Amino acid sequence: MNTKNDLIARMMDDMQEDLIVFIKDNVDSFVKWDLIRFFYENPHTIDSVENIARYTGRSPGAVQGELAELATHGLLEENKVGRMAVYALSSDPKVRQQIADFIQASNDPKFRPKIIFHLLKGMKA
């Protein structure tokens, strides 16, 4: 980490560097966290914004932008099926492993509060 004065950095300094980078680059909202978990648990999901919103108990407006950003970052694949934007989990094994590592860390009582703190500190929602 760059600065020892950074509280987040100090809190997260016992986490693997790759994991910290993954979180900082990709997980800047609780909605994204939910979506990543959803696709991790249901890795062969292929569906539209409206249906993914329904599956995750959110509104389409809440997930639309987040899905698009996750696709831009390479965690999801976005395809146009007719007029619909359809999302699926990236088929890249490396990306899937990063997601698995993140979910595993987020289930760890030691790391979970740190991820939550990171989100509360830096994020949009």
Partner 1 sequence: MNQRVNTGVPGLDKMLNGGLLPQTSNLVEGAPGCGKSTLGMQFIYEGTQKGEPGIILTFEEFPQQYYRDAATYGWDFKKLEREGLLRVIMSSPEVSKADLERVNGTIEKMIDAIHAKRILVDSISQFERMSEDPVVLRNLIYSFLNSLKRKGLTTMLTRESSYLWGESDTEEELDSGLSFVVDSYITLRYVEIDSTVNRAIIVMKIRGSAHDTRIFQFDIGAQGMEVGKPFEGQEGILSGAPTRMAESFIKAFVKR
Residue ranges in contact with partner 1 by CB under 8 A: 41-42, 44-48, 51, 55, 77, 79, 81-82, 84, 86, 88
CB atoms within 10 A of CB 70: 24
Least distance between partner 1 and beta carbon 87 (Å): 10
Torsion of CA 74, 76, 79, 81, to 10 degrees: -170
Residues forming beta bridges with residue 55, ordered by sequence position: none
| Closer of 44 and 110 to partner 1 (Cβ) | 44
Least distance between partner 1 and beta carbon 73 (Å): 19
| Closer of 77 and 123 to partner 1 (Cβ) | 77
Helix axes 112-122, 17-26, angle to 10 degrees: 40
- List Cβ neighbours of 33 (8 Å cut-off, separation of 6 or more): 27, 106, 115, 119
In one-letter notation, the amino acid at residue 79 is N
| Closer of 55 and 117 to partner 1 (Cβ) | 55
| Closer of 47 and 69 to partner 1 (Cβ) | 47
Least distance between partner 1 and beta carbon 43 (Å): 8
Least distance between partner 1 and beta carbon 120 (Å): 28
